[in-house]
Structure 1
Amino acid sequence: MKYELTKDYLTGIDMIDEEHGKLFDLANECYDLVMDDAAVDRFDRIVALLEELRAYAATHFAHEEEYMERIQYERRFSERYQHLRFIQKLSEINLDDIDENQQEYLLNILDFLARWLYGHIKVMDCRIPKEDVAAAK
């Protein structure tokens, strides 16, 4: 099942929603790689995708955190902690483990991505107020 950024996961903050879309696109690339039965050795592509995902997530988190700081969002510190944990989790991936059992390892990564993307965006990011709403407080 592909990852889909449905309206339930939109924050209403254009920049954040666009960047979430890119994270979903990267998760879908991982999914396509797992489901591609013709790909025998996916190691190089896995490594490249994970690095791209980690780098893009770090960029997105920086943008999101700048926005939250600008509007003085009261939950910005717990958001930042969640972001750091996500990057840490991606950084802890052991490439030797991937090479031994690519399919199982990729499925675990996909599970982590799905739970994190859907859970974090729905529970945390959808609470971030739009700038005009925050300014009205």
Structure 2
Amino acid sequence: MLSWKENYTCGIDSIDNQHKKLLEIGARVYQMLKNEEKLDKYDDIMEVVHELKDYTLYHFNFEEKLMEKHGYENLEEHKKQHSAFVDKLTEMEDKDIDENQKKTMMDMLMFIADWIEKHILVSDFEYVKHIIIKGGN
């Protein structure tokens, strides 16, 4: 689950590598969920939530600068989607994770999988198409 697939490739190496890193972080959540040996995973969950949030902030900033550089017309809408993702991660940080660890991990997995399907494969591919048509990356 949450492994890189060729259809995720957008054709801009820096973006593909950053998306791979996001998937790697998501895969760690899946591994934590599968690990039945360790019952209290609160610290691990919080570490992943913080890492995911930090990395997405870096990644989103990178994407937004790239879109701005190439005059992407839907930049503001894309920024709103990015903000909603960060808001969801902040919401996860504020939840009572300690009492609902398994549910939190399942929610994170579903959220990341949904993000791949609806954002990376749709919205990101739209701006990539714009950049490729403009002839740069």
| TM-score relative to the length of structure 1 | 0.91
List runs of 5+ in structure 2 lacking aligned partners: none
Aligned letter for 1:111? Answer: M
| Residue aligned with 1:99, SS | coil
Question: Residue in 1 aligned with 2:121?
Answer: 122
Aligned letter for 2:112? Answer: L
Question: Residue in 2 aligned with 1:47?
Answer: 46
Question: Residue in 2 aligned with 1:4?
Answer: 3
Number of aligned residue pairs: give it: 135
Aligned letter for 1:133? Answer: I
Q: Which moved more, 1:47-56 or 1:3-12?
A: 3-12
The C-alpha deviation readout for 1:89-136, integer Å capped at 9, x for no partner, is: 100115552111211221112111111122210110011236452148
Question: Residue in 1 aligned with 2:37?
Answer: 38
Percent identity, please: 33
Segments ≥4 residues shifted beyond 4 Å = none
Aligned letter for 2:111? Answer: F
List runs of 5+ in structure 1 lacking aligned partners: none
* Distance in 1, Cα, partners of 2:2 & 2:51: 17
The C-alpha deviation readout for 1:20-56, integer Å capped at 9, x for no partner, is: 0000000001111111111111000110110000000
**Aligned Cα root-mean-square deviation (Å):** 1.6
Question: Residue in 1 aligned with 2:89?
Answer: 90
Question: Residue in 1 aligned with 2:63?
Answer: 64
* Distance in 2, Cα, partners of 1:96 & 1:6: 32
| TM-score relative to the length of structure 2 | 0.91
Offset at residue 4 of structure 1 (A): 2.2
